[in-house]
Structures are given as C-alpha cells and as structure tokens.
Amino acid sequence: MKWSLYLYVLVLISSLDIFANNKFIYEEKILAADEAFIINVVNNDNEIFIEWKIEEKYYLYADSIKISLNKKLVKHKIIDGLKNQFEDEFFGKTEIYKNKLKISLDKDGVSTGYEISYQGCAEQGLCYPVQKYVI
C-alpha cells in the first residue's frame, strides 16, 4: 500500500511537470505594440533622433520603417541597430531589427508633423498591424 501510494505521487508530480512546461498551459503574455516597441524621440537643433527599444522575443521589419511629412517620404539614416536576416512565414526572406534601432533625419527647419510608421512581430507568431507615431 505504501509503495503504491509513493508510485502514484511520483507519477502525479511527473505529469504536473510535463503539463506545466506544455505550451497549452503555460503561454507567455503577448505585449501590446507600444510595450513591445518603445519609441523615444529627441528633437535637436538640426536633427530628430528616433529610437526604438525592442523587447526580447520581438522584432521590427526593416523595410516597414517609413517617415513622412505632409504625406511625402522623408529620408532617414540608421545610426544604431543590427539588421538580421530572417525567414518569415508570410514574407519569406526579410530583414529585421531586434533589441534596438536608432535613426536620424534632418529636419530642414520643420520639427513637428512627422509621421513614423513601422511594423513588427512577436516571435510567438503574432504580427501587429502597421503602427503610426506622430511627432
């Protein structure tokens, strides 16, 4: 009797451990887009710096980052950020940024009204719609 109770408890504990590590029971919370991709904008005399802090297990598509002013695209420079090659199930081979990205643009006398658009995904498979941020 004692031996069978011990065996029963051992099987129960083992099965709980298996279920606890199972994807269906333990699922990481997916962050909102503004929590996964935190933007900081610094507006200097001649330039605007835009920096994304990209949370772990999230990424931004490199070709989705666009800046416009009065609906016209504005050129920007990558200052900091490492592009990674990525095989995306929807877009195929693409380039992404992880961890951080910092860009700059010349403001040519205009310091407000810029619209930043970008798109990213969680590694769990959820992709966000295009996000927009206005300076």
**Which tokens hold the place of 46?**
């001649």
| pLDDT value of residue 2 | 52
Instruction: Report residue 3's pLDDT band, with 50, 70 and 90 as the boundaries.
Output: very low
Which of 2-11, 48-57, 103-112 bottoms out in mean pLDDT, i.e. has the lowest? 2-11
Instruction: Report residue 10's pLDDT band, with 50, 70 and 90 as the boundaries.
Output: very low
Q: What is the C-alpha to C-alpha distance for residues 106 and 115, in angstroms, rounded to an integer?
A: 14
| pLDDT value of residue 88 | 76
| Averaged pLDDT of the chain | 83
For the whole prediction, is pTM greater than 0.95?
A: no
For the stretch 71-97, pLDDT in tens is 999 999 999 998 999 987 777 899 999
For the stretch 28-37, pLDDT in tens is 799 999 999 9
| pLDDT value of residue 95 | 95
Greater model confidence, 117 or 28 = 117
DSSP 64-127: G-EEEETTEE---EEEE--EEEEEETTTEEEEEE-SEEEEEEE-TT--S-EEEEE-EEETTS-B
Average pLDDT over residues 11-23: 45
